[in-house]
Amino acid sequence: MMVSRSGRAEAPPDTPPATGARRRPDPLRLAAGVLVLILLAAGASTDRFLTLDNARAILASTAFVGITAIGATLVMIAGSAVSLAVSQTATVVAMIFLATQPLGLGTSLLLALLCGVTVTAVQGAVIGYWAANPIVLTIAAGFATGGVATWISDGTTVSAEVPRYDVLNSTPLGLPLAVYVLLAVTALAQWTLRRTTAGRQMYLVGENRAAAHAAGLPVGRVTVVAWAFFGACIGLTGVFLASFNTGANSALGGTLTLDAIAAVLAGGTAIAGGRGSALRTLGGALLISIISDVLLLRGYSTGIQILVKGLLVLAVVLTVHLRSVRGRR
């Protein structure tokens, strides 16, 4: 791929070359098709799955995971692997949002988003400008942020003295407001990736960081932009979690980190960077929510749900690897 100083590429990422040769089946699409058929069969045979209330529950669950996963998509495309501090960051954001409710909904929302953006953008700056290992850095950030959450709450649940967040729990046209926010965030992320210089540069930096440096691309700035967007998404998730639960403690984030990573990988984004799509991540988040819903309705424990999602991620990673190996032949 040709890299220019403006960040433009001759062929957009994820676009297969046009050749006259007969194409072999894409293993990722075949695996996705098989999985969808299995889920359809499991859902059809599961009591209460095919109901309107359950569909709303799935969409609400998709929104909480999906908003974060969309932000994580930009980070992964830019070659920064994954963040392991998502749950802790969302928890601190939720606590700040609830504690500042007396200042008004707009002020508390702004402060919460500012917290999410600042915490993650700082991590992005260290990764982008000093090439820190994102896994090691975000593990450390997770411990530090979790410590702050415990310190703020003193181990108790933080609640709003003057709750003003009822509007965030509204259901326009029968769907949670978070679902509409998810769709808006997805559209914004997809537009950023495909229509802006910063988005194209994220693909180029993720595909080959050394070449991007050599071409004069602002690698550090591109990385910070991706992480700042990610932080805003984590902030939104923390705000909706706080509003939905009407309180926040150190366990609020739950498995958000793993669920978001699973959604991004299930959408086919390459963990090594340079390839991915916000729209496909949206599909991955929906897939993860449907799997969790089927297992929950069938009475499986949280441990089994995490195990199944872990196996799904492993299968996707192996399939993507096989596809990349086939593409190099």
User: Could you tell me what percent of the chain has a pLDDT over 90?
Assistant: 62
pLDDT in the model for residue 22: 56
* 104 neighbors 277 (Cβ within 8 angstroms): no
CA–chain centroid gap for 65, Å, is 7
Task: Tell me the CATH class for 59-328.
Answer: mainly alpha
Q: Is 160 left (phi over 0), alpha (psi -120 to 50) or beta?
A: beta
With a threshold of 0.75, does the pTM exceed it? Answer: yes
pLDDT in the model for residue 326: 64
Structure tokens at 51: 């109901």
CA–chain centroid gap for 303, Å, is 21
Q: Report in angstroms the alpha-carbon separations of 228 from 134, 206, 222.
A: 15, 16, 10
pLDDT in the model for residue 27: 65
User: What is the spatial distance between Cα 11 and Cα 56, in angstroms, rounded to a whole number?
Assistant: 39
In the numeric block, the tokens 């793993």 are attached to: 258
In the numeric block, the tokens 């916000």 are attached to: 278
pLDDT in the model for residue 2: 47
Give the HSE-up count for residue 18: Cα atoms under 13 Å, Cβ half-sphere. 2
Residues of the chain with pLDDT under 70: 1-29, 31-32, 321, 323-329
- Give the 3-state DSSP-derived string for the chain, with helices as H, strands as E and coil as C: CCCCCCCCCCCCCCCCCCCCCCCCCCHHHHHHHHHHHHHHHHHHCCCCCCCHHHHHHHHHHHHHHHHHHHHHHHHHHCCCCCCCCHHHHHHHHHHHHHHCHHHCHHHHHHHHHHHHHHHHHHHHHHHHHHCCCHHHHHHHHHHHHHHHHHHHHCCCCECCCCCCCHHHHCCHHHCCHHHHHHHHHHHHHHHHHHHCHHHHHHHHHHHCHHHHHHCCCCHHHHHHHHHHHHHHHHHHHHHHHHHHHCCECCCCCCCHHHHHHHHHHHCCCCCCCCCCCHHHHHHHHHHHHHHHHHHHHCCCCHHHHHHHHHHHHHHHHHHHHHHHHHHHC
Length of the chain, please? 329
pLDDT in the model for residue 24: 64
Query: How would you class 16 by CB atoms within 10 Å of its CB: exposed for 0-12, middle for 13-18, buried for 19 or more?
Result: exposed
Give the HSE-up count for residue 132: Cα atoms under 13 Å, Cβ half-sphere. 20
pLDDT in the model for residue 14: 53
pLDDT in the model for residue 7: 47
Sign of CA dihedral 25, 30, 32, 36: positive
pLDDT in the model for residue 43: 82
- Kindly list the domain boundaries of the chain, sorted by start residue: 59-328
Among candidate residues 78, 73, 79, 82, the one with its CA nearest the CA of residue 278: 73
User: Which distant-in-sequence residues (6+ apart) come within 8 Å of 213 by Cβ?
Assistant: 219
pLDDT in the model for residue 91: 95
